Amino acid sequence: MKRMLMIGALLLMGAGAYAQSGPHFKAGVNVGIPTGDVADLSSFTLGADVAYMWPVAPSLHVGVASGFQNFFVKSEFKDNDFVDLNYVPVAASGQFSVTPNLFVGADLGYAFTTSGGEDAGGFYYLPKVGYQRDRFEVFGGYRAVSSDVNFGAANIGVNFKF
């Protein structure tokens, strides 16, 4: 599964090399409300996003994405030596502009758990919809990692384009 995700990401990067207009880098932050298995342990999540996107058609950009996501453990569990749960995603990313200012997109890949424990990571996905301008975008989506434990969250975020 990991191999297929990495091959897909490399193919998307190769397709982007043939784009006629320039690529762009974007970075931002997000905040969310945990859902699924992790909602019992965490009250909110905060993260950072980075992506490098290539235009492959007038309304379509593809690229690679990563970041860091932290699920803050509720205070009642901190007494039991629980630590914050976090992961680093590595994903292929796609974004389609429905109108010049409205987009839909998705990130698909693998997330590596960095908070320790037995869970090493799992399948990462982030479907999203948002509003964009030349220098920034605001989005909402559902960010999750599927493995033995579901790290899910309804998120809102902002990215700045460079």
| Gap between the Cα atoms of 17 and 139, Å rounded | 26
Residue 121 has pLDDT above 80, yes or no: yes
What 8-state DSSP symbol labels residue 56? Answer: E
Which helix or strand (DSSP H or E) is residue 8 part of? helix 2-16
Q: What is the residue extent of each domain of the chain?
A: 2-161
Between these two residues, 30 and 5, which has the higher pLDDT value? Answer: 30
Structure tokens at 113: 């758990």
How do residues 144-158 score in pLDDT, each as one tens digit?
A: 999 877 889 999 999
Give the highest mean pLDDT range of 4-13, 108-117, 124-133. Answer: 124-133
Between CA 57 and CA 97 the distance in angstroms is 10
CATH class of 2-161: mainly beta
pLDDT tens readout for residues 98-112: 999 999 999 999 999
Name the most confidently modeled range: 8-17, 26-35, 73-82. Answer: 26-35
Q: Which residues of 85-123 are buried (b: 16+ CB within 10 A; e: fewer)?
A: bbbbbbbbbbbebeeeeebebbbbbbbebeeeeeeebbb
pLDDT for the residue numbered 46: 98
Residue 162 pLDDT more than 50? yes
Looking at residue 110, its amino acid is Y
Q: Does the pLDDT value for residue 5 go beyond 60?
A: no
